[in-house]
Amino acid sequence: MLRGLIFDVDETLVYYEGYDHRKWFEEWVKPALEKAGIEIDYEAYRKTVSGELPRSYVRRLGIDPVEMWKVIDRANNEYRKAMAREGKIKAFPDVDALGELRKLGLKMAAVSNASQENTEFVLDLFNLRGLFDVVVGKDYSNIDGVKPSPYLINKALGALGLKPEEVLVVGDSVHDVLAGHRAGARVVNVTRFGRVEGADYYVENLWELLELVKKLGTQSP
């Protein structure tokens, strides 16, 4: 029986209109890094985000990875605030289903590779944070513990007081699928941007997730 749900945030619950990863890096991140005396090119940065290289890789370049990511996250916070002012951060219309899922008595967590501050910022924009028992963002004490590592999923499980077999991990990316499975949980792929192979279940939106959860059966904690 299901007792909980663990959701990814960006591109699962909310999205950024006109977002381009390289443009974001060049216009927001690179200037902030240079101001902090940190030199890293886009390809090296991209590889640490995609998981091709660990996020601690930059230590080999003489860069403190924790300080680097704090600079990036501050720049990302400024970007998010600017996008919010322009009305370019959007919640997917089906996020209303979260309230219905909550009514089933499930415990719910939001887990993101973004910083805690940046994750809470976008959830607060749409009054979503109150729907979650716990919100888990990047942990600077374990910079390589971002998805596809199971670290953040395990952290959420501990905070919820649930076992992996009692939850579904819900996300849009291969990193969500890998992190969920590595934590020992089943994974639902929300196919907003295409199907990710390896998930246990597939839904087109959160209303379909609600029907799936009802079919699987729930048990209130």
CATH topology of domain 4-15+91-216: Rossmann fold (3.40.50)
Whether 101 and 213 have beta carbons less than 8 Å apart is answered as yes
Task: Report the C-alpha gap between 95 and 14 in whole angstroms.
Answer: 9
Distance, CA of 54 to chain centre? 17
Bridge-partner residues for 115, per DSSP?
Answer: 138
pLDDT, tens digit only, all 221 positions of the chain = 899 999 999 999 999 999 999 999 999 999 999 999 999 999 999 999 988 999 999 999 999 999 999 999 999 999 999 999 999 999 999 999 999 999 999 999 999 999 999 999 999 999 999 999 999 999 999 999 999 999 999 999 999 999 999 999 999 999 999 999 999 999 999 999 999 999 999 999 999 999 999 999 865 54
Q: Where are the domains of the chain?
A: 4-15+91-216, 21-85
Whether 146 and 118 have beta carbons less than 8 Å apart is answered as no
Bridge-partner residues for 91, per DSSP?
Answer: 14
What local confidence, expressed as pLDDT, does residue 217 receive? 87
* Residue 109 burial class via C-beta count within 10 angstroms: exposed 0-12, middle 13-18, buried 19 and up: buried
